[in-house]
Amino acid sequence: MNGGRCPHVRKRAHQPAGRLMRILGLDPGLVLTGWGVVDVLPPRVVLVAGGVVRLTPRQSIAQRLVELERELEGLFDEYRPDVCAVEELYSHYAHPRTAILMAHARGVILLAAERRGVGIRQFPANRIKQSITGYGHASKTQIQRAIQALWNLPQPPAPPDVADALAVAVCCGRAAGMAGLHG
């Protein structure tokens, strides 16, 4: 398989009337990029779908970025988000290479959204975790369980990249709903 988009969670396909906005949350990576789509129907954030884009690790970084852009275009076409939400870049002094590699994928995400005229919202990791679990330093497992509980899913979203992307989307949705933002 040459990479591709894998849906793991799907609740609703149509865009309901009265929604404030549709958000595509993304968790960037060069092997797996998590994605999650939610509709903001104040006061609720409604799950639409979630999954991962699987990139081919044997390919060069440039080839993976082209593949990621192609898969993102498919997500934008299928779900037609008003907003793209992504975690702000964070670099821990112990793992600067990870931040640099993630920045490549983030750049493609921001470029794809901007080209489409889709609004871009960025949130710090601790704000996303606080929004989902009530604790700004929650683990990946805690994020997965919180997302599972939020929508009464039969099991936690897996891999964790799906839950992380949905968490970004929910954080954005809650911020938008509270602020009355549109697009």
Smallest Cα–Cα separation from 83: which of 152, 157, 24? 24
Token pair 């889709």 in the structure block, residue: 118
What is residue 55's DSSP assignment? P
> pTM here?
0.89
pLDDT digits (tens, 9 = 90+) for 129-147: 999 999 999 999 999 999 9
pLDDT at 183: 39
Known catalytic residue at 27: yes
Question: Domain 4-177 - what CATH class?
Answer: alpha beta
Set 27, 39, 71, 164: catalytic member: 27
Set 39, 67, 87, 164: catalytic member: 87
CA distance 34 to 38: 14
Known catalytic residue at 78: no
Set 39, 67, 82, 161: catalytic member: 161
Known catalytic residue at 82: no
pLDDT digits (tens, 9 = 90+) for 3-20: 566 566 655 555 566 668
Q: Where are the domains of the chain?
A: 4-177
